[in-house]
Amino acid sequence: MYYHWKKKTQSEIKAKVFGALSNNVNYTEQCILGIPASYLDEKVFSQDETFLKEAPFLSTLITNPNHIGCHTLGSSERFFSGTQRIEKELLDVCAIDILGAKPESFDGYVASGGTEANIQAIWIYRNYFQKEYGASLDEIAILCSADSHYSMDKAGNLLMLSTYKVKVAQTTRELHQQEISRTIDLAKSDGAKYFITVSNMMTTMFGSVDDVDQYIDALTDRDVKFKIHIDAAYGGFYYPFSNEDSQLSFQNEHISSVTLDAHKMAQAPYGTGIFLARKGFIDYANTREASYVEGEDYTLSGSRSGANAIAVWMILMKNGPFGWKEKVFILQKRTDWLCEELRDSGIAFYRNPFSNIVAIDSEYITLKLANEFGLVPDNHLNPKWFKIVLMEHVTIEKLIKLLNRIKQQQIWPQIQKK
């Protein structure tokens, strides 16, 4: 059942967005003197172009709404209330219809990307443990897998927290309970008492998915305080549709927050991530010193473009939930086809069965071939894997070219003899 996500026609989308813009500030017709904002420079970006009347996203970009703050709370900057309401609708779709949250049970905002959203989560939980338990910095640890995104390291550096990474199996990319327990015990021996745990919903390199229950069991057994954040920067707009039995949602009481990245599988403009957290947690990131901002500021980024929120809302509404399911279904089938071809050819690879990322063992890929087809390594200095991401433009015709080129390589006969 989808409560907020309903497919809309282009006419309905245009009417909604232009109606929202009409409820935003109008610098031309109103006497607005006190805010350091305006439309984009009219000497460069004309507002009179005829095509803008048919282009709601470009019109939003040019009118330049600032979505500073968190619009799931009380008041926000009234100058941009029209488009802020659309951002709130977008968050409802993501939290309730995709991730199973109850209405009005969460807060969130459209961030600059998954990196910011992950740092936002870790920042919140650091402050939570400090305020509620009097924890010192050296008593708080970030716990994640070795395949986790580098934003965990960035967060540790910025927030002065130690990061502990759990080893994963080389060929299956799985977490093992023994390794999780060993890593937690290592952190505890270093003085950690509070754990900010990040579990992956499709890693950026491999598309691998963590078994969050393994983290929960290990942390519970050791009677330590913990919070769990889901990094679904890649998988948030994919995995819930490819695996309807996913446990990585707000229906799991142990999960407190989630990151999604709309500029990946949702094909939104770069600089568009989404942060969602259960009610009450975002308060720990409130900057009350932002007293000139109506509603204050709970976000890491502060000022941010409302146009990006409009873009994601438009994409989701144009497709509708069933159109989105069809999109993921097609990509899944295309990925299945590639994996079958690789398997039949004896080419070693890794793929989570619910993912559209395929990582090929570097033994089968030369650097020349990787450059020719834009394959991305896990490490540019010493690659062990090269990944293919099956998005809509990655057609079977293109994949056949890659498969044929692999077989034409000089190393192929040697591999076949093994």
Please indicate, yes or no, whether residues 102 and 228 belong to a single structural domain of this protein: yes
Residue 370 lies in a domain: yes
Enter the DSSP assignment of 42: T
- What value does the mean pLDDT take over residues 293-317? 94
Residue 145 lies in a domain: yes
* Predicted TM-score (pTM) of this structure: 0.95
Please indicate, yes or no, whether residues 310 and 327 belong to a single structural domain of this protein: no
**Residue 296 has what pLDDT?**
85
Domain boundary among 296, 318, 340: 318
CATH code at position 406: 3.90.1150.10
Please indicate, yes or no, whether residues 370 and 380 belong to a single structural domain of this protein: yes
| Range name among 46-55, 87-96, 98-107, 251-260 with the lowest pLDDT average | 46-55
d(CA 124, CA 129): 9
Residue 49 lies in a domain: no
Residue 18 lies in a domain: no
Q: Are the C-beta atoms of residues 390 and 355 closer than 8 Å to each other?
A: no
Asked whether the predicted pLDDT for residue 414 surpasses 70, the reply is no
CATH code at position 167: 3.40.640.10
**Residue 181 has what pLDDT?**
97
Please indicate, yes or no, whether residues 406 and 281 belong to a single structural domain of this protein: no
- Sheet with 376-377, strands from edge to edge, namely 349-350, 357-361, 385-389, 376-377
Domain boundary among 278, 301, 318: 318
Please indicate, yes or no, whether residues 211 and 94 belong to a single structural domain of this protein: yes
Instruction: Grade residue 394 by pLDDT with cuts at 50, 70 and 90.
Output: very high
Residue 42 lies in a domain: no
Instruction: Grade residue 37 by pLDDT with cuts at 50, 70 and 90.
Output: confident
Instruction: Grade residue 293 by pLDDT with cuts at 50, 70 and 90.
Output: confident
Instruction: Grade residue 303 by pLDDT with cuts at 50, 70 and 90.
Output: very high
Please indicate, yes or no, whether residues 188 and 334 belong to a single structural domain of this protein: no
CA 218 to chain centroid: 26
d(CA 107, CA 54): 32
Residue 335 lies in a domain: yes
Domain boundary among 256, 286, 318: 318
Please indicate, yes or no, whether residues 252 and 146 belong to a single structural domain of this protein: yes
Please indicate, yes or no, whether residues 244 and 369 belong to a single structural domain of this protein: no
Please indicate, yes or no, whether residues 144 and 87 belong to a single structural domain of this protein: yes
pLDDT tens by residue, 149-186: 999 999 999 999 999 999 999 999 999 999 999 999 99
Asked whether the predicted pLDDT for residue 412 surpasses 80, the reply is no
pLDDT tens by residue, 87-109: 999 999 999 999 999 999 999 99
**Residue 119 has what pLDDT?**
98
Scored b (16 or more CB within 10 A) or e, 224-251 reads bbbbbbbbbbbbbbbbbbbbeebebbbe
Kind of pairing between the strands at 225-232 and 106-111: unpaired
Bridge partner residues of 142 (DSSP):
163, 196
CA 116 to chain centroid: 10
Range of the structural domain that residue 384 is part of = 320-417
Residue 268 lies in a domain: yes
Tell me the average pLDDT of the chain: 95
Residue 33 lies in a domain: no
Please indicate, yes or no, whether residues 262 and 196 belong to a single structural domain of this protein: yes
d(CA 233, CA 228): 15
**Residue 417 has what pLDDT?**
45
Please indicate, yes or no, whether residues 299 and 159 belong to a single structural domain of this protein: yes
Asked whether the predicted pLDDT for residue 266 surpasses 80, the reply is yes
Please indicate, yes or no, whether residues 203 and 314 belong to a single structural domain of this protein: yes
Into how many domains does the chain fold? 2
pLDDT tens by residue, 202-219: 999 999 999 999 999 999
| Range name among 27-36, 130-139, 298-307 with the lowest pLDDT average | 27-36
